[in-house]
Amino acid sequence: MSSSFRAPAGAATVFSTDQKIRLGRIDALRSSHSGFLGRYVRGGVSVPQSASSSSSSPIQAVSTPAKPETTTKRSKVEIIKEKSNFIRYPLNEELLTEAPNVNESAVQLIKFHGSYQQYNREERGGRSYSFMLRTKNPSGKVPNQLYLTMDDLADEFGIGTLRLTTRQTFQLHGVIKQNLKTVMSSIIRNMGSTLGACGDLNRNVLAPAAPYLKKDYLLAQETADNIAALLSPQSGFYYDMWVDGEQFMTAEPPEVVKARNDNSHGTNFVNSPEPIYGTQFLPRKFKVAVTVPTDNSVDLLTNDIGVVVVSDENGEPQGFNLYVGGGMGRTHRMESTFARLAEPIGYVPKEDILYAVKAIVVTQREHGRRDDRKYSRMKYLISSWGIEKFRDVVEQYYGKKFEPSRDLPEWEFKSYLGWHEQGDGAWFCGLHVDSGRVGGIMKKTLREVIEKYKIDVRITPNQNIVLCDIKTEWKRPITTVLAQAGLLQPEFVDPLNQTAMACPAFPLCPLAITEAERGIPSILKRVRAMFEKVGLEYEESVVIRVTGCPNGCARPYMAELGLVGDGPNSYQVWLGGTPNQTQIARSFMDKVKVHDLEKICEPLFYHWKHERQTKESFGEFATRMGFEKLKELIDTYKGVSQ
């Protein structure tokens, strides 16, 4: 079967349609439901071969992308977005009611503002509604003023804790509806934002949290900032809602403005308040990470777009390798949903990165599924089309051909815990925070240190925190006071804890099936006891990640041992990830009760200890042995030989 698509420049193109996953563009701008939308039409013009986003490149422009003539059935959320007047209505009215919650449409819209409606699932006799707020911090950067503000807000309006997330942001839980505007406006007025931290648009852009003054690290962080700015909503709905239309946006780099406004290849909605997103925004969430060679602190391949700085032999950054199609979320017992690693799409010179990223985003906007949200992530589009077809369509929006990807060295996981020189005479200190939860004496002490020394901080993708720009003479007093609060140097933190992650799950997450954050301390202690029992050394470790549902917020499908909630006190066990997060795990066993973990894990740890190859990680061992053999080892295990 084939479908004819209409190109804006008048050229006709035919693509084959995959039967398994239907794809279709939603052109809601022509919908009869909202008359005001008709003003905004997509612009598409033919481009001479000399036109490009960078005049210095010798690569010729290619044809403008083909456009589909038909639309598909739309999900309920697509209708809500269309009727919302760019993410305003009915949220603006719902916030004014005396009810403690907002209605279903407003629940969907407030996500774009960086918030989820929640309730305590352990309370009986009615629902106590509150809201979780998530900040947006490209590269995990948190100015001193914003950190102190978040610390205050957690005490005054939240549950007294801050949570560091796997996407380098804060989550603030327990805010009631009547306090939302106060909290949101406080964040905005103190150098922060929650805009786009949730919802169907680009989320927080990851980059290494280490504040190294190295050219590649600086470019990675600058690029993360620019991508975040490029893909930030422009229609003002966020500021209208929370600060009465007052603008707090800083001046954008001219290259960001130029790339956003460029419509040489039919990427933009002409005269729309949202030139990239239109009324419908994206089909689902969209995630981007930027890093440098060897540094996989960002779990690069789990993102919709992975961006890697490429430098020449003199260390001068020249361009970027791009990877596309990663994503963690899936649904239990639905094999058509899956976690997926990003794959290479090509290389672009550094001056073209924003145009290339925009072209990828627009391809997903135009062709990602909008009828069934389980299949709306870009990974399903690429899995259906294949990387070659996907690349061809992106190149039409980009206006150039991608160059072949450059060779890169092996990836490593970098935690940045402990003390490190920045390169300017100052130091930074990475601190491990179990599951990213900052509370109690730890919270009080962190605030005292950050306030006293006027320190800026960064949040890592592993739920930890980095204190920046520390003078040499401050190191000893800071180390002492932090240690007294349990914030220890890495040599005093169990290696299992250093790489472990868990999502919040119960009691507030509406999707949780079982425990994660509250359960992982006990799980890690039990794994350590198993290590000791089978003779594994203290410094040996396994990457363990736990989530309360299959959506994958703590990226369990990249773990060597992933536990994914599939019932009350029950987990699906995943094996086969690697310590450097470059290999996806596979589902090994379903419905494993938490009290039965020793029956499954102890035999595996025992045989890993005695049968592994040189420097073979647990995940590599599990993959080499194969799951049938592993199950046989479990069934025949007789215990540790005395």
Task: Give catalytic residues, as residue numbers.
Answer: 134, 203, 285, 287, 503, 509, 549, 553
Report d(CA 316, CA 189) in Å as an integer.
37
The helix/strand/coil state of 390 is: helix
Distance of CA 605 to the CA centre of its chain: 31
- Nearest in space to 580 (alpha carbons), one of 305, 341, 304: 341
Report d(CA 290, CA 358) in Å as an integer.
15
CB-CB contact of 492 with 455 (8 Å): no
DSSP state string for 576-607? ---TTS-S--EEEEEEEEGGGHHHHHHHHHHH
Please report which helix (H) or strand (E) contains residue 428, including its range.
strand 427-431
Burial of residue 602 (number of CB atoms within 10 Å: 0-12, 13-18, 19+): buried
Return the ∠ at Cα 440 (arms to 436 and 446), rounded to 5°: 70
Q: Which residue has the tokens 């352990």?
A: 122
Q: What are the E-state strand segments in 245-338?
A: 269-270, 288-291, 305-311, 317-324
Tokens describing residue 330? 């899936």
Q: What are phi and psi of 635, to 5 degrees?
A: -65, -30
Report d(CA 184, CA 153) in Å as an integer.
10
Report d(CA 109, CA 105) in Å as an integer.
6
Q: Which residue has the tokens 């960078």?
A: 54
Report d(CA 400, CA 258) in Å as an integer.
17
The helix/strand/coil state of 14 is: strand
Q: Which residue has the tokens 């946006």?
A: 249
- Nearest in space to 367 (alpha carbons), one of 312, 417, 310, 324: 324
CB-CB contact of 269 with 27 (8 Å): no
Return the ∠ at Cα 151 (arms to 177 and 240), rounded to 5°: 45
Report d(CA 513, CA 460) in Å as an integer.
26
Residue partners of 216: CB distance under 8 A and separation at least 6:
292, 293, 309, 311, 315, 317
CB-CB contact of 380 with 456 (8 Å): no
Report d(CA 620, CA 19) in Å as an integer.
35
Sign for the CA dihedral angle at 605, 607, 613, 618 comes to negative
Sign for the CA dihedral angle at 327, 53, 354, 113 comes to negative
What b/e readout covers 563-600, taking b as 16+ CB neighbours within 10 angstroms?
A: bbbbeeebbbbbbbbbbbbbbbbebbbeebebeebeeb
Q: Which residue has the tokens 């956003």?
A: 260
